[in-house]
Structure 1
Amino acid sequence: MRILGTFLLITTFLFADLIDVYRTQGIEAVKEKLESQLRSQTYWEKYLENKDLQYGYYESTKYLIVVDKYSKKLKLLKKVDNGFSQVANDSVIIGERPGDKKREGDLRTPIGVYKLTNKLTKLDPFYGPLALVTSYPNMYDKILNKNGHGIWIHGMPLNKDREDYTKGCIALDNVNLEKLEQNIDLTKSIVLISNKEIEKSTKEDISLILSSIYKWKDAWKNSDLEKYISFYSKEFKKSNGYDLDKFKQYKKRIFKNKEDTQIEFTNINVIPYPNSLNKKIYRVLMDEKYRTKNYKFDGEKELFLEIIDNRIEILAEG
């Protein structure tokens, strides 16, 4: 009750403050007041206080398929309230060779974060009743010059035995595979594949990322080139191949117009990104609404970012 009372008191003061700002300065000043809160790490720390963030922060993703290559286990987690509940914990077989996938035919299962893009049926009986297709290679994989394709979550042969490894896919018993497929929505599922148990994300990391995203958006909206570029790593690569220098020159041409720019982010998902680089990387997926006088965009914004010395550095953007 004391916590609830404190919350209501703070809310009442904030509401009164916003009314006063609106009365004296107008609606745009109210919007800026709210945006300033979103740029505050303290705000996000309070907002995230009672949320289970060990697997990241999710606004639109509902299911996590977590694969630990070391223990050869697949967990299905479903988002509930402020965290996730475990739906399944099954044994799997993985690629014949250890380590991260880098090349077509290297017999390794990739390490990273992937979407599910399709469900395949009417397969060769060797792959069981169905297969769930992952998005390997993702944008960051391609930037790192990884290649290959056809990384599936599939079943076991319908009419014969098989060896205890795959060519890079993830395979599980057919009954468990069918239960997995029945219990998820492909469009709201993410696959996390790690070489060991995934390192838990923290409230500090997630609040840093969320507040930084809004600071980055503010610099973008206001055409503040130097502040905007300060969020990018020297290793940065754009999905179109631009390195940091080319990207900065491109943005310089855009920003010099000082256009009235409106940017909104919704359905933000901040996902810890297992990797073989020994870096603290997160993959951010969110919906972007972008408007200027001459251009508009509605679609997905994708970032791969690294946390270094309590700040984010964007490694890749799409």
Structure 2
Amino acid sequence: MHLKKPFWMHRHLAVCAITLLLAPLSHSESTAPESDSAASADKKLYPAGLIALAGDSLFSSYSLVVDKSKRLLSVYEWKNEDLTKIAEYPADIGKKNGDKKKENDSRTPVGIYFLQREMTQPEIPFGLYGNLAFSTDYPNIFDQRDAKTGSGIWLHAVPDTVPLTRGSRGCVVVRNNIIKLLKNYVKLEQTPILIFDEVKYLDPSGYQSQRNRFLKSFDDWRTAWEQQDVDTYIKYYDTTFRNDQMNYRQWYRHKKKLKSLYSYIKVQLGPPMILQNKDQIVIRTIQRYESNLHKDYGEKTIHARLSPDVGFHIIREDWKPLPDPLASDHSQEKNSSMINMEQKREVSAQEPAQ
């Protein structure tokens, strides 16, 4: 998808220089990352679920990918609309195999998560978690929908005296020196950690084909929204859709009502982050919205299930406002007042233009 006039601001994160060494795919305690640089371009492989990272500086340029079957954690960088593995490390996982279902089952969950909070001493005991830990958002939207229980799934370290083959209570575990390196790639609440039973890989052609399919579905959804083609637009929503205010039927009626109020709408979306694990899909993007009565700017987060018909079926959609880099303080205050006015008119309880 290409926007004629991009509105987002591109800033590139500095990338740490890392000495890369080839290592066997084993339970080795080696802490040197594995490099792809020696491989020729036609041998480059892409993890199937890491479809795209967003180009906007609000989001992270990096993603962590965990392969439970190989007990490996890899770091991928998104640069110039391409994905490159820049590091790989041994990792420990839950003592028991399989996906986490309930509290205290000693299993590592399979899914799409985001690193939320950084913790170190004295908040966490060194003997259990090493010198650094990052919490995740388990249980996420999908986990809650699937009635999974438990909490406290972290990415953390352990002292060097503890073997990485011991098995955790469900967390992903690396060495102390490695988690210090991983910190360089973490933007809290924005850096994803994808945990797979086994990572499936695509060659460049297969990866680009997958990415193009998702981008087309994403833009078709945006186009139907912008054209106020509500009947086509609603096909991208699952009948189990629910946000904090509305279910599927209420959302459909809400969009019909907005169509009667707005003579036009414009929807601009930045390059999206698109992540997939099994049938779960997470999309994040920067959104600029305008109608004859309202305008806003913010972050859109979509949770969806894979759909063979339209690409994805949205089960939840969230939006939060951000300071508009193109708007003056006065215009943002005016827009805030417009939002409040529309809320009072009960066009929507939270986001009248969405």
TM-score (norm 1): 0.73
Q: Distance in 2 between matches of 1:109 and 1:227?
A: 38
Change (3 A) 1:241 1:158: farther
Q: 1:260 Cα shift?
A: 2.8
Alignment identity in percent? 23
**Root mean square deviation, CA, Å:** 2.9
Does the 8 A contact of 2:115 with 2:186 survive in 1?
Answer: no
Amino acid at match of 2:290: R
Change (3 A) 1:299 1:138: farther
Q: Distance in 1 between matches of 2:139 and 2:151?
A: 7
Match of 2:250 in 1: 246
Match of 1:83 in 2: 82
Q: Are 1:59 and 2:54 matched, yes or no?
A: yes
Change (3 A) 1:144 1:58: same
Match of 2:194 in 1: 192
Match of 2:15 in 1: none
Q: Deviations over 1:23-53 (max 9, x none)?
A: xxxxxxxxxx969xxxxxxxxxxxxxxx986
Change (3 A) 1:160 1:140: closer
Match of 1:20 in 2: none
Mean CA deviation greater in 249-258 or 120-129: 249-258
Q: 1:62 Cα shift?
A: 1.2
Q: Distance in 2 between matches of 1:181 and 1:130?
A: 9
Does the 8 A contact of 2:135 with 2:155 survive in 1?
Answer: yes
Match of 1:156 in 2: 158
Q: Are 1:274 and 2:277 matched, yes or no?
A: yes
Does the 8 A contact of 1:52 with 1:83 survive in 2?
Answer: no
Match of 1:124 in 2: 125
Does the 8 A contact of 2:45 with 2:201 survive in 1?
Answer: no
Q: Distance in 1 between matches of 2:142 and 2:258?
A: 25
Q: 1:160 Cα shift?
A: 6.2
Unaligned runs of 5+ in 2: 6-43, 318-354
Q: Distance in 2 between matches of 1:179 and 1:113?
A: 22
Q: 1:229 Cα shift?
A: 0.9
Q: 1:129 Cα shift?
A: 0.3
TM-score (norm 2): 0.66
Unaligned runs of 5+ in 1: 1-32, 36-50
Mean CA deviation greater in 253-262 or 188-197: 253-262
Q: Distance in 2 between matches of 1:171 and 1:88?
A: 16
User: SS state of the match for residue 158, structure 2?
Assistant: coil
Q: Distance in 2 between matches of 1:53 and 1:199?
A: 5
Change (3 A) 1:65 1:162: closer
Mean CA deviation greater in 181-190 or 261-270: 181-190
User: SS state of the match for residue 129, structure 1?
Assistant: coil
Q: 1:70 Cα shift?
A: 1.1
Q: Are 1:167 and 2:169 matched, yes or no?
A: yes
Match of 1:111 in 2: 110
Q: How many residues align?
A: 265
Change (3 A) 1:138 1:294: farther
Q: Are 1:178 and 2:183 matched, yes or no?
A: no
Match of 1:140 in 2: 142
Equivalent positions of 1:192-231 (< 5 A) are 192-200=194-202, 202-231=207-236
Mean CA deviation greater in 286-295 or 126-135: 286-295
Change (3 A) 1:53 1:94: closer
User: SS state of the match for residue 95, structure 2?
Assistant: coil
Match of 2:265 in 1: 261
Q: 1:191 Cα shift?
A: 0.9
Amino acid at match of 1:143: R
Change (3 A) 1:312 1:105: same
Change (3 A) 1:113 1:246: same
User: SS state of the match for residue 98, structure 1?
Assistant: coil
